[in-house]
Amino acid sequence: MARAQAEVARGMAGTAAGWHAAAAVALGLALLAAIYHETLGSMVRIWWRSETFAHGFLIFPISAWLVWRERAALAGLPLAPDWRALAALAVLVPGWLVAREADILVGEQLAFVLMLPVLVWLAAGRAVARRLMFPLGFLVFAVPMGEALVPPLMDFTADFTVALLRLTGIPVYQEGTFFSIPSGDWVVVEGCSGVRYLIASVTLGTLYAYLTYRTLWRRALMVALSVLVPIVANGLRAYMIVMIAHLSGMRLALGVDHFIYGWVFFGVVMFLLFWLGTLWQEREAAGPLPGRGAGFQPARAGGPRPARAPAGRIAAAAVAGALVASAGPAAAAWLDRSVRAAAVPALALPERLGAWSAAPDFTRFAPRYVGHLAQARRAYARAGGPPVLVQVFWYSGQRQGAELVSSANVLVPQKHPVWRQPWERSFAAGGLVVREALVRSARGESLLAWRLMWIDGRWTARPLEAKLYEVLAALRGHRRDGAGIVLVTPLDGMDAARARLGSFLAVLRGPLDALLARASREAGR
C-alpha cells in the first residue's frame, strides 16, 4: 500500500513538473511575441483584410491542438535547455533585421514564426523540439505568403483554358492573359489565378497527411497532390465558367454566380482529393497515433524516469532566448534613428538629351506607382521620329506602403477601365535587364514599355536584387533612396520600338544618374 501511494505521489509530482515546464516555455513564447508585436500585428492585419489569408486566424489554434495531442509522448521525454539553439537564433534574428530593412514583410514574418519552435528547442531541449516539429512547423502556414505565385498561375490558367477551348473546337485569339472567343472577351485576373485554392489546399492537405499517415512517402504523395490538383482544377474551373457563359449567350457565370460556381467546384475537388487519399491509407498501424493519451503521464512504475530540469531553469532559458532575439528590433530602432527624414527633392528632366529634344506628351497612359515623394514626366523625340516618354518616381526613407519595390507599383492595375497589359517579361537591353511589357488601350493605342529601378546609384529590374541594394544602403546608414523609371514608346513594330527605347536609354542613363544622385543629396538636407 505504501509503495502504491509512493508511486501515485511520484506520478503527481511528475505531472506537476510537466505543467510547470510547459508554463515556463509559454512564458518565453509570450515574451517573444511581445517583443515582435509589430511583426505579429502585421500578420493579423493581413488575415483580417485578405480573404486569401483569412485562414491564418486558425493556424495558431490548430498548432496548439496538435501540441496538446502530444502531451502523453512529451511526458516521457527528457526536458532540459539546449543552448545549441542559440545558433539558429543567430541566423533568424539577423534574417529578420535584413527583411525589415529591405521592407520584405513576408521575410520578416517568416523569420519571427521560425523563432517560435527554436525558442521551444532552446528552453525544452532537442527531444521535445523533434517531437513537436510538425505541430510547431505548421505555424509557417500562418505567414501570408504566396502572392509571388499569382503571375505564373494567371499565365497557366489562361494557357490551360485556351488549350481546352481549342480542343473543344472553339476559335480563340490569345494575347497573354487576355483571350477572345466568338461570344465575348475574357481576361484572367488575380482573383482567377487560383492562388486561394492552392494555399487552402496545401494547408489542408498537409494537415490531413500528418494526421492520417505515418510513412513519409504517403505524406509526401498527399502534399504533392494537394499542390498539383488545385492548379489543374482551377484551370478546369476557368474553362467551365467560360463554357457556361458561352453556351448561355453570355447570360450566366458573369456575376456573383461566377464566384459561387468556383467555390462549389473547389469544395467538390477537395472532397475528391481527400477521398483519393483514403485509397492508400494505412490499414494497420504500427502503434497508436502520435499524441494519444490523457494528461502528462509519468513513466511506468519501476521504469527509468526522463531527466527533467527544474521549471525555473527552463523559464530562465526561455526568457534568455527571447532577450537574445530582442537584438533584432533593437538594431532596427537604432538604424531608423540613424537615418534622417527625407526632404522632397526637385526632379527636373532636361530639355535635351543628345539628339533627343523635348516633345509634346503623346499619350494619356500613366503607370501606377504609390507612395512616391516626387515624380517627373517628359516626352522626347529625335529628328521628327516617333517619341519616347520617360517617367521617374522618386522614393526616399522607404516604409511599408511607400516603397519602390512593391507589388502595388504596376504599369496597369487589374480591371483598368481603359488600359490593359497582356504580358510583361524580362528583356536584356544595352547591358541592363529591363521589364518589358505590352500596353494597349480600349481606343486602340498600343505601347511598348520598359521599366527598371535606380537604387543608391545602382540600376536593376530584378526585385530581389533591388531589395539587396536597399539592405546594403541601410547597413551603410543611408536612407535607401531609389527611383522607378518607366520608358514608353508607340508600338510601330516590335523591333523598331525596342531599338528606339534602347538608343534612348543609352543617352538617358548618364544624365539621369547625375539627376538622381543630386536628388539623393537634396533629400538628405
Residues 57-72 have pLDDT tens digits of: 999 999 999 999 998 8
Please indicate, yes or no, whether residues 100 and 168 belong to a single structural domain of this protein.
no
Strands 356-359 and 374-381: antiparallel
Buried b (16+ CB within 10 A) or exposed e, 312-331: ebbbbbbbbbbebbbbbbeb
The answer as to whether 157 is a domain residue is yes
Residue 287 has pLDDT above 60, yes or no: no
Where in the sequence is the domain holding 42, given as residue range(s)?
Answer: 2-141+309-338
Please indicate, yes or no, whether residues 250 and 377 belong to a single structural domain of this protein.
no
Please indicate, yes or no, whether residues 512 and 383 belong to a single structural domain of this protein.
yes
Residues 425-448 have pLDDT tens digits of: 999 887 889 999 999 998 889 999
Split into its structural domains, the chain has a count of 3
Residues 301-334 have pLDDT tens digits of: 445 566 667 778 888 899 999 999 999 999 888 8
The answer as to whether 317 is a domain residue is yes
Please indicate, yes or no, whether residues 110 and 156 belong to a single structural domain of this protein.
no
Please indicate, yes or no, whether residues 114 and 258 belong to a single structural domain of this protein.
no
Q: Report the alpha-carbon distance of residue 435 to residue 412 in Å, rounded.
A: 13
Q: Report the alpha-carbon distance of residue 143 to residue 47 in Å, rounded.
A: 9
Q: What is the mean pLDDT of residues 203-223?
A: 91
Q: What is the mean pLDDT of residues 192-208?
A: 90
Bigger pLDDT: 287 or 95? 95
Question: Per DSSP, what are the bridge partners of residue 427?
Answer: 434
CATH number, residue 500: 3.40.1000
Please indicate, yes or no, whether residues 164 and 134 belong to a single structural domain of this protein.
no
Please indicate, yes or no, whether residues 384 and 465 belong to a single structural domain of this protein.
yes
Please indicate, yes or no, whether residues 268 and 372 belong to a single structural domain of this protein.
no
Please indicate, yes or no, whether residues 468 and 382 belong to a single structural domain of this protein.
yes
Q: What is the mean pLDDT of residues 273-294?
A: 59
- With a pLDDT cut of 90, the percent of the chain lying above it is 45
Please indicate, yes or no, whether residues 22 and 135 belong to a single structural domain of this protein.
yes
Residue 255 has pLDDT above 90, yes or no: no
Residue 132 has pLDDT above 80, yes or no: yes
Residue 43 has pLDDT above 50, yes or no: yes
Please indicate, yes or no, whether residues 368 and 502 belong to a single structural domain of this protein.
yes
Q: What is the mean pLDDT of residues 346-356?
A: 89
Q: Report the alpha-carbon distance of residue 395 to residue 73 in Å, rounded.
A: 54
pLDDT score recorded for residue 133: 94
The answer as to whether 464 is a domain residue is yes
DSSP characters for 291-333?
T-SSS-PPPPTTSPPPPB--HHHHHHHHHHHHHHHTHHHHHHH
Residue 454 has pLDDT above 90, yes or no: yes
Residue 192 has pLDDT above 70, yes or no: yes
Bigger pLDDT: 9 or 525? 525
Q: What is the mean pLDDT of residues 481-498?
A: 93
Q: Report the alpha-carbon distance of residue 108 to residue 93 in Å, rounded.
A: 9
Q: What is the mean pLDDT of residues 466-478?
A: 78
